[in-house]
């Protein structure tokens, strides 16, 4: 079993925020598979798809970004998967819009949602896919920036990277992280 958790904030007011890139990706994966999210747990929406002949749970934590760890722990309790079969997908201000990076492990890089997960699970050995939402100049106020909506032109770029990110997630599940990193991080 694989578990892919896309981080974001619940509610329509956040749906086009930069901070919701993780939600957007798992929505795209579910759409490609013809699946629909349902509230199956207290702290998340989820659905199950088939990838490479294995059940894959797609999830959207409902705990708001900074408290994502509790929702991911609840998901792992309900859908037991080894940590190398867990993928966390989230926005990354340090990467320019249109870029993405798949990593086997590492620190949170200051991302509070990812830090919450690392704290709750007690390890940095958690695969993640970071979707770039950054701009040329670092923002003056990071919280305001990540809670701002993508512009129309940004959404066009994001649409392309989300398709590529879906391919990267499928590759991760079917071919493993090393091959996927070599293929998609270039």
Q: Are 43 and 71 in contact (CB under 8 A)?
A: yes
- In whole angstroms, what is the distance from residue 80 CA to residue 83 CA? 9
Percentage of residues of the chain with pLDDT beyond 90: 91
CA nearest neighbour of 87 among 96, 98, 79 = 79
Q: Are 35 and 58 in contact (CB under 8 A)?
A: yes
- In whole angstroms, what is the distance from residue 60 CA to residue 42 CA? 11
Structural domain range at position 143 = 2-184
How many domains does the chain fold into? 1
Task: State residue 137's pLDDT score.
Answer: 81
Condensed to tens digits (0 to 9), the pLDDT of residues 42-51 reads: 999 999 999 9
Taking 80 as the threshold, does the pLDDT of residue 108 lie above it? yes
Residue ranges of the alpha helices (H) in the chain? Answer: 21-33, 68-78, 112-121, 142-146, 152-175, 177-184
Catalytic residue among 18, 19, 111, 130: 19
* CATH assignment at residue 117: 3.40.50.1470
Averaged pLDDT for residues 83-93: 97
Q: Are 176 and 113 in contact (CB under 8 A)?
A: no
Averaged pLDDT for residues 67-73: 97
Active site includes 19? yes
Q: Are 35 and 48 in contact (CB under 8 A)?
A: yes
Q: Are 184 and 102 in contact (CB under 8 A)?
A: yes
């Amino acid at each position: 079993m694989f578990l892919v958790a896309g981080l974001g904030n619940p509610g329509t007011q956040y749906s086009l925020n930069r901070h919701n890139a993780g939600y957007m990706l798992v929505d795209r994966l579910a759409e490609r598979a013809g699946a629909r999210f349902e509230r199956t747990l207290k702290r998340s929406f989820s659905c199950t798809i088939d990838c490479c002949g294995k059940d894959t749970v797609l999830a959207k934590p409902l705990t708001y970004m900074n408290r994502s760890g509790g929702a991911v722990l609840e998901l792992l309790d309900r859908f037991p998967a080894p940590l190398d079969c867990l993928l966390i997908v989230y926005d990354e201000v340090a990467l320019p819009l249109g870029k993405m990076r798949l990593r086997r492990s590492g620190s949170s890089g200051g991302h509070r949602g990812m830090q919450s997960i690392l704290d709750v699970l007690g390890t940095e050995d958690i695969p993640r896919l970071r979707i770039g939402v950054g701009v040329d100049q670092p923002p003056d106020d990071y919280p305001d920036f990540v809670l701002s909506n993508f512009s129309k032109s940004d959404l066009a770029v994001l649409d392309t990277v989300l398709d590529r990110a879906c391919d990267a997630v499928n590759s991760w599940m079917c071919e493993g992280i090393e091959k996927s990193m070599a293929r998609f991080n270039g």
